[in-house]
Amino acid sequence: MTTRTASPTPQLAATYGEARSEILAAGARAGVDVTAFPHPSPGRLGEELAIDVLTAGPDEADSVLVIVSGTHGVEGYAGSALQQWWLDEQSRTRPDDVRVAIVHALNPVGFSWVRRVNEDNVDLNRNFVDWTSPPRNDGYGEIADLLVPLEWDEATQEATTTALLEEADRVGFGRFQEIVSSGQYAHPSGIFHGGSGPVWSHRWLARHLPEIVGSARRLGIIDLHTGLGPSGHGELISHEASDDPGYARGTDWWGKVRSMRDGESVSASLEGDWLAAIEQWVPDVEITAAALEFGTVDTITVLQSLRADAWLHAHGDPNGPQAEAIRSQVRAAFVDDDPAWLATLIERFDGITSAALAALTAG
C-alpha cells in the first residue's frame, strides 16, 4: 500500500471542457510547463477550445517522447484520461535526460462535439496527402448515398444497412472496410473524408511539431486512438512497412507492432495519416512512431455511429432533438465508460510509455 497522497483516479470526462480542466490540473500537480494554442472556434457548449501542450524535462534533451490525444476528436476522451494518468504516475519517474510532451486534443472541435472528424467534417488522419494529386477512391462513390442517406429514420437505416451488408458480402469484408474507411476526397459530407487541403490541426502540427522536437535528435511518438479491435485490446500500428528501420525500432521498443501497409493491422491501409508526414518537418531526426489503438465495440457498430454522425451534421440539426442520442451513440462506439475498460488501457499504456522512455534514455 502506498502512503503518499493518492493521485486522483483518472476519469473518462463527460465533456471536452471537463477533460481540459482535468489535464491542466494534472499538469499543475506534476509541475510541468503548459502552452495553450487556442482554436478559432468555440466549442459545442461555448467553451474555449485549444490544443494544450504539457512539457516535462529539459529543453536541450537529445530525446523527446510525444504523446498525442484526440487526433480523432471523440477518441480523445480515453486519450486524455491516459495522459492524465501519465502526468500523475510517471512524470516524476521520467528519465532526467528525456523530454516528454503531452499534446492534448489535437482535434479539439471533434473532441467537443463528440465527433471523430474536425470542424470541416475531415478525418485528420486522411488529410496528410499530396494535395496536387489526392488519392482516388471510386468504390466509395458507388455507396456514398447508402452510407450517408438524406434521411435517418428507422426505415431508411434498415434499408441502407441491408444494402451495405449485401455489398460487403459481395466484395468481401476486407475490401469493404478499405472502400469505406481508407479515405475519400470527393464527398465532403461523407465519412472518412480527407478534405480539400491542409486543415487547422494539420497546419498546427506542421508549424509546431518542429518546435516541440527542438534540438532533440531522437523522437518517439505515441498517438492514442480508440474504436478498432477487440474491447480493451491495445494494438500498436505502424504507418511504415515491416522492412523500414522505424518499424524495426518500434518492434525493438515494444515487441509486436503491426504494419498497416502490409495488411497486418486491424486498420485498413490508408493514405494521409499524420505520423507518415512528420519526417518532412523534422529531417535528420530518428523517428519511432506508432498509433496505439484500443478496441471498443465491433466494427459495424462503430460504422453505424459514424454514419449517424455524418448524417446529423450534413442533413440533420446538430443542436436538434435527435442530436443527443446520436452523440451518445458515437461516444459509446469510441469510449467504454466501464472503469474496468480504462484500467485495462492504463495497464497497456504504462507498458508502452515505460518501454519508450527506457529506449529513449538508453542513448
In the complex, which residues of this chain contact Zn ion (CB under 5 A)?
72, 75, 225
Q: Closest CB to Zn ion among 10 and 79? A: 79
Terminal-residue alpha carbon distance, the chain: 34
**Residue closer to Zn ion (CB basis): 73 or 316:** 73
CB of residue 278 vs Zn ion: minimum separation in angstroms?
Answer: 17
Q: Which residue is nearest to Zn ion (CB)?
A: 225
As measured in angstroms, the least distance from the Cβ of 110 to Zn ion is 10
DSSP reduced 3-state for 163: helix
Written as nine digits, the cell of 313 is 451534421
State phi, psi for 70 to the nearest 5 degrees: 75, 20
Strands (E), 84-143: 98-104
The C-alpha cell that represents 183 in the structure block: 479515405
Q: d(Cα 60, Cα 58) in Å, to the nearest integer?
A: 5
d(Cα 58, Cα 96) in Å, to the nearest integer?
8
Q: Would you say 75 or 235 has its CB closer to Zn ion? A: 75
Nearer to Zn ion, 52 or 75 (CB): 75
CB of 75 to Zn ion, least distance (A): 5
Q: What is the DSSP string of 115-169?
A: -SS-TTS--GGG--S-TTSPPP-HHHHHHHHHHS-S--SHHHHHHHHHHHHHHHH
Q: How far is the CB of 60 from Zn ion (least distance, A)?
A: 33
Report the phi/psi class of residue 229: left, alpha or beta, with left for phi > 0 and alpha for psi in -120 to 50: left
- Between 253 and 294, CB nearer to Zn ion: 294
Minimum distance between the CB of residue 51 and Zn ion, rounded to whole angstroms? 16
Judged by beta carbon, residue 27 or residue 234, the one nearer Zn ion is 234
One-letter identity of residue 154 = E
Taking the least distance from each CB to Zn ion, the nearer of 75 and 88 is 75
Q: Who contacts 333 (Cβ-Cβ below 8 Å, separation ≥6)?
A: 227, 296, 297, 301, 302, 304, 305, 306
- Rounded Cα–Cα distance for residues 220 and 198 (Å): 24
Distance CA 102, CA 33 (A): 10
Shortest distance in whole angstroms from residue 183 CB to Zn ion: 13
Least Å distance, CB 358 to Zn ion, is 26
